[in-house]
Amino acid sequence: MVKVKRLGHTTLQTEDIDGQTDYYSRVLGLSIVERSKDRVFLASKVGLEAVELVKGKPGWMSAQSFQIDPESDLNDVVKELSKHGIKAERRKGMSPGVADSVTFVDPKGTQVDLFSEYKFPKQDLTPSAFNILKLGHIAYRVLDVQKVVKFYNEVLGFRTSDSRGDYFYFLRCNTDHHTLNFIVDEKPQLHHIAFEVMEWAEIRKATDFLALNKIHLVWGPGRHVIGHNVATYHRTTDLVRIEIFTEMDQMKDEALGYWDPRPWHQERPLYPKTHGKETLRNYWGYGSERVIKGYQTNEIPVYGAIES
């Protein structure tokens, strides 16, 4: 089994490279680490690559990357993937920070790159309105969620953190509650990408700055129940749904098997589980009160239906 350690970057297509570069750099505060006519790489101020912009269908995610153990032999990774019927090959120059990787296509048709060594870019001291730490997770709509979850768990070493029924799964590869989400949908496509910030104050600054740039929220702020992250969502002009979050559940010890206790947890200890349809999408704020009163209609967004 190959064991993923963390999420790398996502590759998003766009017809407006300049406009999207302005959004991710000036508005979100990511650093431009490499730029050409048809390709831009951006990283968080702490030096983790987050987004690659390329020419193509607006809002389409064409690739994602993950870091594996730095001691890994990439030739062995190719051989391990072949045991599972996955055709993989070595790739040079995947990104400014990754000289060598293994590339293949996952069961949902997305190109995946695995890399072991990462070179941090030069520190960017340009001030930002708020500070993103990293690309925290990616959520994707898929036709066969069981097949995709099985692949990521059994081939790439992810663990299922929680699920909502049998149609929405949250997978972790490190201490974070989730790095990947998969939800059943008739139209496979990106659901959202999420950026982590340090604390609640950063979300307040982010929402104010988004408003100044005439970017309105589509949901939040609120605290999710599954994962318990405080989050808010908006869309880019390419209609990519962006989540900004903090305070996600952490599992610091896999042997203990429960999430680090927090004051807002409904159960102590809180173990991974399957949540029912009655589970609130939002622990407080928009949606929670009316759902409790029984008015769970299409106007109340539930998991998997955030302004679809």
Cα 188 to the center of its chain, rounded Å: 16
pLDDT given for residue 283 in this prediction:
85
**Residue 79, phi then psi, degrees to nearest 5:** -65, -40
CATH match for 4-115 among 3.40.50.1170, 3.40.630.30, 2.40.37.10, 3.10.180.10? 3.10.180.10
CB count, 10 Å around CB of 41? 23
Over residues 90-118, the pLDDT tens digits come to 999 999 999 999 999 999 999 999 999 99
- Helix then strand then coil, % of the chain, to nearest 5: 15, 40, 45
Q: Are 193 and 242 in contact (CB under 8 A)?
A: yes
Question: Which pTM value belongs to this model?
Answer: 0.93
Write b or e for each residue in 266-285: b if 16 or more Cβ atoms lie within 10 A of its Cβ, otherwise e: eeeebebeebeeebbbbbee
Q: Where, residue-wise, is CATH 3.10.180.10 in the chain?
A: 4-115, 132-292
Rounded Cα distance between 74 and 203, Å, is: 38
Residue 286 binned pLDDT confidence (cut-offs 50, 70, 90): low
**Range 114-143 average pLDDT:** 97
Token digits of residue 189: 């496509």
At the fourth CATH level, the homologous superfamily of domain 132-292 is: 2,3-Dihydroxybiphenyl 1,2-Dioxygenase, domain 1 (3.10.180.10)
Over residues 290-303, the pLDDT tens digits come to 443 433 333 333 33
Rounded Cα distance between 55 and 128, Å, is: 26
* Residue keyed to tokens 């909502």: 164
